């Protein structure tokens, strides 16, 4: 797996390692306080083969091996939102590490929305399946480094950003500057709301390191990238650089979204992610089954 280290800049600045999951173009993170060796995991993937409906843990296990090599103590298992393109490994990581899992509190509203689409025999219950549901403005620590939670909706109605010292995990809001922004057409999403979230992120100090949730490369850039500063986005971002209007962004984002298919893992992934990374309950034969809504999209 492609791995890259963004080193701490000094006191109050985290060490960050990114791990690229090629099948879904997802970037997973380990964020550590170098002074205490305490750390958090962010948006780690539970691997899934949609052709066989088979889950596996290669990505999470590689990250666990990295944590062991670095001598880190994991304090938090964090997700930014219920991902549509990959399953979250939070439940598996909690089983291995014992650390609490957390996501934004508006996941409750997302669960209500998808309850209507899946019509599950049992309700999704994020308050049961996550240890902590963050509200906008909540704070906590990773080691001695302060963390602030920002509500950043648009991609989903409950996406959050983690601001950790001089770094921020901005998930599916921004892409790398030459790719612009993330889609906003999933149920509960909104390009206009995404614009407001991005502008709030770009009001952070200019040297803040922004870590995005995905990269796919481009025709002119083969190398996968996931880190750029606020100043670099404000100068170079293809969709939201300074001088771009809200109306221009919404027109560009909506036109792009109209051309996109649903992610091939989405209908499987959400019924796992809304359970905190757990498969649907086993049935009478001991096996787990996915429920896929037909003709709803």
- Would residue 296 count as lying in a domain? no
- Would residue 92 count as lying in a domain? yes
Query: Please, what is the average pLDDT of the chain?
Result: 96
Q: Give dist(CA 203, CA 247) in Å, integer.
A: 19
- Would residue 144 count as lying in a domain? yes
Which pLDDT value is given to residue 73? 98
- Would residue 266 count as lying in a domain? no
- With the C-alpha atoms ordered 20, 86, 258, 170, is the resulting torsion angle positive or negative? negative
Which pLDDT value is given to residue 231? 98
Question: Domain residues for 233?
Answer: 3-261
Name the residue among 6, 9, 61, 63 with its Cα closest to residue 211.
6
- Would residue 282 count as lying in a domain? no
Q: How many domains does the chain have?
A: 1
Is the CB of residue 261 less than 8 Å from the CB of residue 226? no
Q: What is the pLDDT of residues 212-247, one digit of tens each?
A: 999 999 888 889 999 999 999 999 999 999 999 999
> Given pLDDT bands bounded at 50, 70 and 90, which one contains residue 53?
very high
- Would residue 234 count as lying in a domain? yes
**CATH number for the domain that contains residue 233:** 3.60.15.10
> Given pLDDT bands bounded at 50, 70 and 90, which one contains residue 121?
confident
pTM (2 decimals)? Answer: 0.96
Q: Give dist(CA 42, CA 16) in Å, integer.
A: 10
- Would residue 270 count as lying in a domain? no
- Would residue 51 count as lying in a domain? yes
Question: Token digits for 89?
Answer: 């490994």
């Amino acid at each position: 797996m492609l791995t890259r280290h963004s080193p701490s800049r000094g006191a109050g600045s985290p060490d960050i390692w990114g791990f690229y999951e090629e099948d879904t173009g997802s970037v997973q993170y380990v964020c550590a306080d170098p002074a205490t060796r305490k750390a958090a995991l962010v948006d780690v993937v539970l691997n899934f083969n949609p052709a066989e409906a088979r889950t596996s843990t290669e990505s999470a296990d590689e990250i666990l091996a990295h944590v062991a090599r670095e001598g880190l103590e994991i304090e938090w298992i964090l997700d930014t939102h219920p991902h549509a393109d990959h399953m979250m490994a939070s439940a598996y990581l909690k089983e291995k590490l014992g650390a609490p899992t957390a996501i934004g509190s508006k996941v409750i509203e997302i669960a209500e929305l998808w309850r209507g689409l899946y019509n599950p025999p049992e309700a999704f219950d994020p308050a049961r399946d996550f240890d902590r549901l963050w509200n906008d403005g909540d704070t906590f620590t990773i080691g001695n480094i302060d963390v602030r939670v920002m509500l950043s909706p648009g991609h989903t109605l409950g996406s959050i950003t983690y601001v950790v010292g001089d770094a921020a995990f901005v998930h599916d809001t921004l892409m790398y500057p030459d790719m612009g922004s993330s889609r906003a057409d999933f149920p509960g999403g909104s390009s206009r709301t995404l614009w407001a979230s991005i502008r709030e992120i770009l009001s952070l100090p200019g040297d803040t390191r922004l870590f995005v949730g995905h990269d796919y490369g481009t025709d002119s850039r083969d190398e996968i990238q996931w880190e750029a500063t606020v100043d670099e986005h404000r100068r170079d971002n293809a969709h939201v650089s300074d001088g771009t209007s809200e109306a221009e962004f919404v027109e560009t984002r909506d036109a792009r979204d109209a051309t996109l298919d649903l992610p091939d893992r989405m209908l499987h992934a959400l019924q796992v992610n809304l359970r905190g990374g757990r498969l649907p309950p086993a049935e009478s034969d001991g096996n787990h089954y996915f429920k896929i809504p037909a003709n709803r999209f």
